[in-house]
Chains A and B, each alone.
Chain A
Amino acid sequence: MAILRNRLRSFRAARSVGLAGFLVLAACLSYGQTTNSCLDCHSALPDPLGVTQEKFSQDIHAQKGLTCASCHGGDPTSDDPDKAMSRKAGWKGKIDRKQVPELCGSCHSDPAYIRQFDPSLRTDQLGQYRTSVHGKRFAAGDTKVAVCTDCHSVHDLRAPSDPRSTVNPVNVANTCARCHADADYMKGYSIPTDQFAKYSASVHHQALAVRGDLSAPTCSTCHGNHGAVPPGVDKVQNVCSNCHAFQAQMYEKSTHKKAFDEASLPGCVVCHSNHAIRHPSDAYLGTGPEGVCMRCHKPGDHCDQARAQLLSSLSQLDEAIKSANQILLVAEASGMEVSNARLAQDQARDSLTKARVAIHSFQKNLVDEYIQAGLKIAAKDLQAGKDAMVERNYRRLGLGISLLAIGLVLSGLRLYRKKIES
């Protein structure tokens, strides 16, 4: 009896827990149905008032628990449109474009508020925005310039790390181009609108969009995003040194630095251009259409001679590497083991890359140092390739002699067999 009573007690306890659970679930469901009544109507409305549940669920704010009311005010718990969108409930209606930076900043400039969602998220965007050309023009009353929502989108705003975000590195150029490549929209600002077209043909775009290298620069890498240029940079053209550190260090010590500064020429951009940066080649040092030196220097002068010597050194190493590579590939295709020499070829290529970087110092001695190191390796590799080919021929000669010997033995065996069987 005691056992039966105990079992009944457990059954009753379980029943009570189940009933309580059901009530909580029902309460949650009924609460969930009325937490955001805005979407009940707006999901059925056409653009620009339409915001579907599916679209809003992708928004980072929705995912962090914010609702329409967080920006638009009102009472999303009420099913009655008059109550939900009453001014008494704080409803603001459509956010005026002039209010957007301040509205976003009301949360994003509040470290204590932002910390509860993402402690690592910066809170200086609004301050930076005010220092930017966009921000300054906006403050002066120009509402055509970009505000937060123009770049970040609205209602389906995603984290920048999301590849679908309009501010993901891969998409930034397209986002900027929406305004900056639109000649009609940009009329009156007297700045070019071909930056996107030029950038799209550049080595940086190739690296970022085609190769998927997220370290490659997009618009905001050089121009900043909310407003501030990268630390320690006084001119946009000087941001190159943030990535191309060695080239920048050598350029800083070169004679060109002083000359360019005196002539107010913009450093790297003079030779490499800005948005349309192509993959540099040794032809930059040449006198052909790609050559950049002769744009300023005169044929036959001291600098022209130095240019020719530098080009000759680079070409010499490039050719030496190619020759070694060619013979090593043939040797490898013949089955020769030349992996060590092939590996050493990487070192020779490294030397060539370093020599090309050293061009930015415009010091022949420094360039030659790398060229000589590379030539030494390439010569060794070439010799390894030649040795492999000699070995290959030796093997083939050995094979020929062996086959001859085998053929002779076979003939002898055949003759002997015929002799004993005749």
Chain B
Amino acid sequence: MTLFAAIRRWLDERFDWDDLLAPLRHKTVPTHRLSYWYFLGGITLFLFVIQVLTGILLLLYYRPGANEAFESVQYIMTRVRFGWLIRSIHSWSANLMIFTAFAHMFSVLFLKAYRKPRELTWVSGVLLLFLVMGFGFSGYLLPWNTLAFFATTVGTAITGQVPIVGRPLMIFLRGGPQVTGATLTRFFGFHVAVLPGIATVLILLHLLLVQRPGMSIPPKLEVQWTANPSARREMKFFPNFMLRELMAWYAALGVLGVLAALFPWNLGVKADPFASAPAGIKPEWYFLFMFQTLKLIPSKVWFIDGEVLGVLGFGLVGLLWLLLPFFESDQPAHMKRWITGLAVFALAYVAGMTVYGYLAK
């Protein structure tokens, strides 16, 4: 008997381990020409795990505080053995994770995987997307460099535009009327304690919600497979799909390694609150479509302040986006095409505005 089998037997005798793993053994994944989109959620999860691991390693040396943060990251980049690699992987992985989270959301949207009975899976997923953007926003400030400082100043000022609750919210985020060391300390708290706590709960919920009804099948294929059950193609989740997912994770690890080694994440220049903002300052790419939209809105639309209108507009769109599955029919024949049209428009808008914002001066 091998050691592995002995441990398994030991656990099985005590916890009925085999019974616990039975759902995984019985779980299947539909096989069709669009199956590869199923990998995106797993890759996002893998990148999140990378974030947690590299984040813990960074915590060993990072010191939050206006007088220490930049120097500690500089120390990590120059003195700590493989510190540059850990920090670069953390930064690149964060960006890739947000990208794969967006890609995962749009794939779910186009394949109509959000429809009944998976509405809550969609809701938890969109909340997770908002959360990873929050991770990005809070983590961006932590090296306390010039770009991060002014991006946070602009970002939190936009929050302040929300009527009634905006200013108190801005003060809460900044820890005062201005971005200072107090902002850095609380962003650090959000980034390493509050957001990971919420994210862990939401990820577990999201995974549970994915497991219960099984993998979604595109509506047209579902109709065909219902009419002709013999055409149904499936593979076992474990080990067949898991092996493929594992290969995708390895590929993602390779991409991360290439990015971190060839393009180590820049440290920038230490933030100087008394210096003027660099010309043409822009937020991170995942906020660029919103930033560019706010820039294009006139300062006054009728009697409403343009920026307030923009912020409220994005708030409303975000809420409707969260509730999108509830506007869909559960009958494949009555699928609402406007939702697909909306998805195409949203993708084109986000991509177009991001490119425009990147090119705009």
Contact = CB atoms under 8 A, between A and B. Distances in A.
Interface of A: 335-337, 339-340, 395-396, 398-399, 402-403, 406-407, 409-410, 413-414, 416-417, 420-421
Given A335-B262, A339-B74, A417-B244, A399 B257 contact: yes
Contact of A414 (B74, B247, B257, B261): B247
Nearest to B239: A420
Given A396-B261, A413-B247, A417-B244, A403 B254 contact: yes
Interface stretch (B116-124, B132-140, B263-271, B289-297): B263-271
A332 to B, nearest CB: 9
Given A335-B266, A417-B244, A409 B257 contact: no
Interface in B57-110: 74, 77-78, 84-85, 88
A417 B258 contact: no
B250 A409 contact: yes
Contact of B250 (A337, A395, A399, A406): A406
A413 B84 contact: no
Contacts of A410: 247, 250-251
Contacts of A406: 250-251, 253-254, 257
Contact of B262 (A399, A407, A414, A416): A399
A409 B250 CA distance: 8
Contact of B263 (A335, A339, A417, A420): A335
* A-B interface, 5 closest residue pairs, ranked by CB to CB distance from nearest: A335-B264, A399-B261, A337-B77, A406-B254, A417-B243
Contact of B84 (A337, A396, A420, A421): A337
29 contacts: A335-B88, A335-B262, A335-B264, A336-B264, A337-B77, A337-B78, A337-B84, A337-B264, A337-B267, A339-B74, A340-B78, A395-B84, A396-B261, A398-B261, A399-B258, A399-B262, A402-B257, A403-B254, A403-B257, A406-B251, A407-B254, A410-B247, A410-B251, A413-B243, A413-B247, A416-B243, A417-B240, A417-B244, A420-B239
A251 B62 CA distance: 53
A46 B264 CA distance: 71
Given A417-B244, A420-B239, A395 B261 contact: yes
Interface in B223-245: 239-240, 243-244
B262 A413 contact: no
A413 B250 contact: yes
Contact of B74 (A336, A337, A398): A337
Which of B261, B265, B267 has the largest number of chain A CB atoms within 10 A? B261
B154 interface: no
A335 B259 CA distance: 11
B256 to A, nearest CB: 10
A339 B74 CA distance: 9
Interface in B289-337: none
Interface of B: 74, 77-78, 84-85, 88, 239-240, 243-244, 246-247, 250-251, 253-254, 257-258, 261-267
Nearest to B76: A337
A395 B263 CA distance: 11
Given A337-B77, A403-B257, A413 B263 contact: no
A411 to B, nearest CB: 10
B213 to A, nearest CB: 26
A399 B262 CA distance: 9
Contacts of A420: 239-240, 243
A413 B247 CA distance: 7
Contacts of A403: 254, 257-258
A270 to B, nearest CB: 43
Nearest to B252: A406
Nearest to A411: B247
Contacts of A395: 84-85, 261
Contacts of B77: 337
A366 B254 CA distance: 57
Nearest to A406: B254
A406 B258 CA distance: 12
A396 B257 CA distance: 10
A409 B88 CA distance: 23
A391 to B, nearest CB: 9
Contacts of B261: 395-396, 398-399
Contacts of A402: 254, 257
B194 to A, nearest CB: 30
A409 B253 CA distance: 12
A406 B74 CA distance: 29
A398 B78 CA distance: 17
Contacts of B246: 413
Contacts of B253: 406
A403 B257 CA distance: 8
A403 B260 CA distance: 13
Contacts of B262: 335, 396, 399
B243 A339 contact: no
A416 B244 CA distance: 11
Nearest to A414: B247
Contacts of A413: 243, 246-247, 250
A196 B211 CA distance: 85
Contacts of A337: 74, 77-78, 84, 264, 267
A336 B85 CA distance: 11
Contacts of B88: 335
Contacts of B243: 413, 416-417, 420
Contacts of A340: 78
B211 to A, nearest CB: 22
A18 to B, nearest CB: 35
B246 to A, nearest CB: 6
A402 B254 CA distance: 8
Contacts of B240: 417, 420-421
A340 B78 CA distance: 10
A29 B263 CA distance: 73
A24 B246 CA distance: 91
A175 to B, nearest CB: 34
B258 A339 contact: no
Nearest to A388: B78
A33 to B, nearest CB: 41
Which of A337, A398, A407 has the largest number of chain B CB atoms within 10 A? A337
Nearest to B84: A337
A86 B244 CA distance: 107
Contacts of B78: 337, 340
Contacts of B266: 335
Nearest to B83: A337
A417 B241 CA distance: 9
Contacts of B247: 410, 413-414, 417
A417 B253 CA distance: 20
Contacts of A417: 240, 243-244, 247
